[in-house]
Structure 1
Amino acid sequence: MTGSHHPAAGKPDGPRITVEVPVLRVGAGASDYDGLNRFVEALRKPQGLHMTLLHVGILDELGRDIAAWTKGLSAPEKTLPEIASWLTELPVLQGFLGKSDKLIPLGGGRLMGLEVEVPQEVHDYQALLVQGLHVLFDDLGLDNIDDFILSSPALGYKSPRWLPHIAVGKARSRHEPEVEIAPVAIELGDSQIRNRKALPLP
């Protein structure tokens, strides 16, 4: 797919929409999280940590991706309210416990994050999200949906495999290796939609 984005059009703006779970606690206390500081350039504040289950991206950009893919048959004014309605009707995943013993490079090496072991029901829920996205896109008139999901800049998928992780800070260099750490328990809250108030009315 080419031609749907032009540098002259400027950088898309607007809040990013994701389905995510907030991180409530890393380890036994603040010192367990603060200890990760020695592995990163700048450690993120613990209050904003989260695990993304589904990245939807900037809705206007996704609307343009869909319109380009369907050659204008599925216009944003039709698709975006449908996407918003689907998101707001998703079941909530209840909070859960995970654990991590590894820091891994993310985002092409720009970030470091905790790779997290999560219960099977979390993997099942994430698979449900992707299956639901398939059904939604089929209803919106898209074909070759797997190809669209992997190629849409708005969705931002790099791989069909979901790796549970929590970005914790900026990498010290682009070539940081994986780092084994002392195992830490991670408490995560109920799933939520980031920037839910920015969704268009169905």
Structure 2
Amino acid sequence: MANRPRGGWDSTTQTAPPITVEVPVLGVGAGPADYEELSRYVFALRRQRGLHMTLLHLGVLDDFCRDVADWTKGNTRADSAMLRTVAWLEALPVLEAFSGSAESLIVLGSGGVCGLEVDVPASVHDFQVYLVHALHELLDELLVDNIDDFILSSPALGFRSPRWVPHVAVGRPLHRGRGPWEIGQVGVDFGESRIRNRQHFPQLP
């Protein structure tokens, strides 16, 4: 594997981007004007075309596999972890398209981004729980012990909380404070799940 600093993805060269399982946003509200209304709350509103909801963040594959190798003290080599992880990703089932709704904007992480908090069907929550369970199974196969500790401490995975909040990041908050900000209910339509940056998977033998 390339000896590359962690988080060294250069968006201009499109090398080593993070891998996520996500669902694309197909529409917000009744039309573009409903989404553009969010500019009352959000600075530099993101383009609607690229909006998505992340179901599972795996991170840069090189980094993830190095985390596994470090955690297992070399019992699982990084190249072996890469082979198994890519095969695991390719075998994940697909979540069908669905619709949800949003009534408020919430602040995410350290406060630099806000997003629509989305009410989604129970089946979506179930699928996200399945993904986390499947990740546990993968890590068990990779000989990772104390799996919950690994998930919460792996820089590649970047988990900050065991609780998943369905949301769509839309831009930086225009107003100070932690929110939430009520926006009135809007529908949000999502496409079927996909693996973001799948085209950057390494070529496997």
**What range is the shorter-chain TM-score in?**
over 0.9
Q: Secondary structure in 2 aligned to 1:157?
A: coil
Which of 19, 24, 33 matches 2:26?
24
Aligned positions, number: 195
Per-residue deviation, residues 27-78 of structure 1 (Å, max 9, x unmatched): 0010100000010111000000000000011011111111111112111100
Report the Cα offset of residue 81 of structure 1. 1.4
Report the Cα offset of residue 172 of structure 1. 3.1
Q: Is the 8 A contact 1:110 1:174 kept in 2?
A: no
Q: Does structure 1 residue 133 correspond to structure 2 residue 135?
A: yes
What residue is the counterpart of 1:12 in the other structure?
Answer: 8
Structure 2 unpaired stretches of 5+: 10-15
What residue is the counterpart of 2:162 in the other structure?
Answer: 160
Q: Does structure 1 residue 182 correspond to structure 2 residue 184?
A: yes
Cα distance between partner residues in 2 of 1:157 and 1:115 = 18
Per-residue deviation, residues 95-147 of structure 1 (Å, max 9, x unmatched): 00000001000131000100000000000000010000000100000000011
What residue is the counterpart of 2:110 in the other structure?
Answer: 108
Cα distance between partner residues in 1 of 2:176 and 2:156 = 24
What residue is the counterpart of 1:151 in the other structure?
Answer: 153
Q: Is the 8 A contact 1:149 1:155 kept in 2?
A: yes
Cα distance between partner residues in 1 of 2:31 and 2:7 = 40
AA matched with 2:35: Y
Cα distance between partner residues in 2 of 1:94 and 1:39 = 31
AA matched with 1:182: G
Q: Is the 8 A contact 2:7 2:60 kept in 1?
A: no
Cα distance between partner residues in 2 of 1:125 and 1:74 = 28
Which of 122, 125, 132 matches 1:123?
125
Structure 1 unpaired stretches of 5+: 1-7
AA matched with 1:149: I
Segments ≥4 residues shifted beyond 6 Å: none
Cα distance between partner residues in 2 of 1:10 and 1:143 = 23
- Calculate the TM-score normalised by the size of structure 1: 0.92
Per-residue deviation, residues 80-99 of structure 1 (Å, max 9, x unmatched): 11111111111100000000
Q: Is the 8 A contact 1:105 1:111 kept in 2?
A: yes
- Calculate the TM-score normalised by the size of structure 2: 0.91
Cα distance between partner residues in 1 of 2:182 and 2:160 = 24
- Please give the root-mean-square deviation of Cα atoms over the aligned residues, in Å: 1.5
